[in-house]
Structure 1
Amino acid sequence: MTAAFMDLVDVTIVNIAIPSIRQNAGASFSQIQWITAGYALAFAAGLITGGRLGDIHGRKRLFLLGIAGFTAASALCGFAANPEMLVASRILQGGMAAMMVPQVLSIVHATFPAHERGKVFGLFGAIVGLGAVSGPLLGALLTEWNLFGLEWRPIFLINLPVGIVALLLGRRYITESRAPKALRLDLVGVALVTLGLLMLLYPLTRGHELGWPLWGYLSMAGAVAVFAALVAYERRKAARDGSPLIELSLFRVKSFAAGIAVQTVFGVALGIFFLVWTLYMQIGLGWRPLRAGLTGVPFSLAVSTAAGLSVQKLVPRFGRKVLQAGALVMGAGVLVYIGEAHRYGLAISSWQMMLPLAVMGAGMGLIVAPLTDAVLSEVPREHAGSASGLINTVQQMGNALGLGLVSVVFFGVIDDRLTRTQVGPAFAHAFQHALWWVAGIMGVIFLLMFALPARPAQHIEGAADESGEGGADGAVGGAEGPAGGKGATARGAGELVH
């Protein structure tokens, strides 16, 4: 739980401190994007690998290595001498999180009998909610207080005591476990996934700053070829030894393929929104970090409330319609926000943002909580672990892609040479422009959801239980990454609140 909390807080805490990092560290806008996108990309690329390494070499061992590495990377972030070192340290931190996080629910599954896991997942959900709300506030307070004159650095250094305590307690209390029939690690698949993502995201992030050079377009086109090579290689590897990095047969299941598309596109929308929202409030409107952090509280509370209602009350009665209603409600909240931002201009207050943020949060809560079960409901039970890991991975990939697109939909409409008086109006206009993109994406998500099953079966935990304690494929949080069912739902909600 300590590790899960640390990971969730670390992502939410950074967004609120981004303007301070830009001002005090002298980071360019593209470097600011990479401080967030680099973490998300490394996390996405490493999730499947981290989960499989835990099954092969022992979940406790990988968990402790991940905690130690994450804590060390946090120290490097906190003491970064320049923006380049901070970006590199954040990429390392994301890689360590990918080693640490998949083990959390795998260890829960291996440690607790089936009848006790419901209580543990309930606690996990509470930790997720606490991390989602406390991260922005903690980031705002640490930035405002400027402890010891360190400016933004304490947002990373706070991980050091927490990580050391988690490492000591983990060594003493966690018992070792591994999958009895763990698959071999597909190193070629890992390399192809990482290369393809870098070839796609790097030009998107740096393109505006560099004037969209020809090599950027060639790189993005080449990424398509790399992903095609990945599919061909994974198909051959599955036929040869049955241990591909990605189980391609899952995409023959209509609801799973549609759900993967929904997760990816949803991640893109949220990757765009949360970064431009922070820049809009703190640079465009000139708000202090604490005010910006407090403004986001209604959003987080609405997500938590709607998520609980959707799983317990609404989905059992209305099925897929709840998720589609969530997409429409969130899209409506975005449109209200555009209207409020246009109406009040630079004089807009936190109170005037409360309604659109609460509506957006409610819509998001209706989506994130039941989506994982809806996607997995028609997946064969022996592939539940593989499928849930892939869902979490594409969610992170979508987030990283959204962060890369910020250079197009936000910075692309801002003049490179602004006077002090032009900054506010330019950022306010760019924010509204980016929100139109987010609203359009929510419409696409609504249409994609028609391919989800009308009545998703809530069977993922049962599938894990039937497959036996610690099985490689059926286990909650099995070889492929974070847990399916309630565990993945809880973590997915927390990640998306970022």
Structure 2
Amino acid sequence: MTSAEQPGRPADPGDERRRWQALGVGLVAAFMTLLDVSIVNVAVPSIDRALRATPSDLQWVLSGYALTFGLALVPAGRFGDARGRRNAFVLGIALFTLTSALAGLARSPEWLVGARLLQGAAAGIVNPQVTGLIQQLFRGPERGRPFGLLGATIGISTAIGPLLGGLLIQLGGEQDGWRWVFFVNVPVGVVAVVLGWRLLPAQPAGTAERNRLDPLGVLLLGAGVVLVLLPLVQERQWQTPWKWLLIPAGLVVLAGFALWEHRYARHRAPLFDLRLFRFRSYSLGALIALLYFGGFTAIFFIFTLYLQIGLGYSALVAGVAITPFALGSAAASALGGRIVNRYGRPLVAVGLLVVMLGLGAVVFVLRGEPHSGVPLRTAVPLLVAGLGSGLVITPNQTLTLSQVPVPQAGSGAGMLQTGQRIGSAAGIAAVGALFFSSLAATHGDWASAFRRSLLLAAGIVALALLAALLDIQRGRRKGSAPP
């Protein structure tokens, strides 16, 4: 077995600095691709004016990225496991850079939607390689620190997107500033391609022959994910109730995927090894991630709408208002990565509880009918919620992947992130539906609609807390701490 295949070994065993440089390139790439999930939200009004896009076009600009992102995660993770993570990483970043440039040059809504779909797929290729790289280059407890940095990257990129988008639009102007939201990726992407090829470990010799891909598994998983996600991301555009039939249809296809993978695994390496769900750390950790992202991502969606449309704040101010959450998440993620091996799943439970307390405090400070000072009132509660979030994302990811073998690191991480994408889409659909229905029922009372939908988001986080407590209880029954 080569050094690149050994868990916890750097690509060059004598070069400690090289593996941290490789991780740095991966984190920059992860930040760039995850940033594009939220940065475009504040650019929607500018895109609408510049391209005369329909509401359906704008919805696809936002949700199409998330759809193809989730679609590519597991196949790309498996591709990296089988054919080398450096190859998959460089391919994904090159495609992401190219499609970012195409999006910035868009001359029609159709052009922009197509570029965003390809950009999302490219992001889905990149992200499992970063997590797989951590599994490959670091061993056991020492994974806590790099996963802490990755968690900080996830938290910051998700929360700071509206702020950076607002700044770019402010600098570039209302008419064309939205283009810089995409162009900013190009120089960073070019550098990441060069450094990724130089620093990431190469594919071990002979791996491709031992690890064939699973085309039918890719097809079944892709069809199932699309059927589940489509009615969620198109919840407001497709008015017919028949759209919800796609979800059970998707679950049936995913059940067929599970049966096929079970059969395929008897003879060859499957697209995703279902035996990973036998690990309590992986199964309950994936459930916590799905539920938490369902509540966590929806917060920024409704808060941005409340500030910009309901209260008339600029895109820049709306981005600044979310910054306390990003700062808290970044600080706590770094800490969580360092102490997760000491405290285990109880640390995740504490983080979820702190998030709920922070969201409850936001509801409290916005009681009544506030019409001014909302960003200032919510700063401390959002900081508290961000601190809790940092103790959730990083430690949960570290614990969830702790028992995943390195040869399945990419596909295991891809399935975990697919659950996060599904959770995000479902959370935004559910919380957004309550937000808009409350807005209609209260005849435009934005504050009331925001408070109600924020309570629903907190309720979804509470379900994640229940899953964490279940994991802790099971660990105690077995007479050992959670893995």
Question: Do both proteins adopt the same fold according to a TM-score greater than 0.5, normalized to the shorter chain?
Answer: yes
Shift of 1:180: 4.4
Among 99, 105, 125, the residue aligned to 1:79: 105
Shift of 1:390: 2.4
- In the alignment, which residue of structure 2 is the partner of 1:8? 34
Q: What is the rounded CA distance, in whole Å, between the counterparts of 2:129 and 2:32 in structure 1?
A: 14
- In the alignment, which residue of structure 1 is the partner of 2:400? 375
- In the alignment, which residue of structure 1 is the partner of 2:386? 361
- In the alignment, which residue of structure 1 is the partner of 2:252? 225
- In the alignment, which residue of structure 1 is the partner of 2:14? none
- In the alignment, which residue of structure 1 is the partner of 2:72? 46
Q: What is the rounded CA distance, in whole Å, between the counterparts of 1:175 and 1:252 in structure 2?
A: 30
- In the alignment, which residue of structure 1 is the partner of 2:415? 390
Asked if structure 2 preserves the Cα contact closer than 8 Å seen for 1:206 and 1:407, the reply is: no
1:237 and 2:264 equivalent? yes
Which amino acid is the alignment partner of residue 70 of structure 1?
A: F
Shift of 1:367: 0.9
Among 279, 296, 300, the residue aligned to 1:274: 300
Map 1:233-312; keep pairs closer than 5 Å: 233-239=260-266, 241-312=267-338
Shift of 1:284: 1.4
Q: What is the rounded CA distance, in whole Å, between the counterparts of 1:52 and 1:382 in structure 2?
A: 9
- In the alignment, which residue of structure 2 is the partner of 1:320? 345
**For each residue in 1:95-118, what CA deviation from the matched residue of structure 2 results, as whole angstroms up to 9, or x when unmatched?**
112223333465677789999999
What secondary structure sits across from 1:343 in the alignment? coil
Shift of 1:429: 3.4
Shift of 1:192: 1.8
Q: TM-score, normalised by structure 1?
A: 0.79
Q: Which moved more, 1:382-391 or 1:320-329?
A: 382-391
- In the alignment, which residue of structure 1 is the partner of 2:225? 197
User: For structure 1, which runs of at least 5 residues remain unmatched after alignment?
Assistant: 458-498
User: For structure 2, which runs of at least 5 residues remain unmatched after alignment?
Assistant: 1-24, 476-480
- In the alignment, which residue of structure 2 is the partner of 1:444? 463
Among 74, 89, 98, the residue aligned to 2:115: 89
Shift of 1:4: 3.0
Asked if structure 2 preserves the Cα contact closer than 8 Å seen for 1:205 and 1:407, the reply is: no
Name the CA shift for 1:434/1:33 in 2 (closer, same or farther; >3 Å): farther
What secondary structure sits across from 1:87 in the alignment? helix
How many residue pairs end up in the alignment? 448
Among 428, 436, 444, the residue aligned to 1:403: 428
Which amino acid is the alignment partner of residue 187 of structure 1?
A: P
**For each residue in 1:103-156, what CA deviation from the matched residue of structure 2 results, as whole angstroms up to 9, or x when unmatched?**
346567778999999987787677667756764432111111235941311100
Q: What is the rounded CA distance, in whole Å, between the counterparts of 1:452 and 1:381 in structure 2?
A: 24
What secondary structure sits across from 2:331 in the alignment? helix
Q: TM-score, normalised by structure 2?
A: 0.81
- In the alignment, which residue of structure 2 is the partner of 1:102? 128
Q: What is the rounded CA distance, in whole Å, between the counterparts of 1:307 and 1:36 in structure 2?
A: 27
Name the CA shift for 1:4/1:219 in 2 (closer, same or farther; >3 Å): closer
What secondary structure sits across from 2:107 in the alignment? coil
Q: What is the rounded CA distance, in whole Å, between the counterparts of 1:273 and 1:407 in structure 2?
A: 10
Which amino acid is the alignment partner of residue 419 of structure 2?
A: V
Asked if structure 1 preserves the Cα contact closer than 8 Å seen for 2:300 and 2:322, the reply is: no
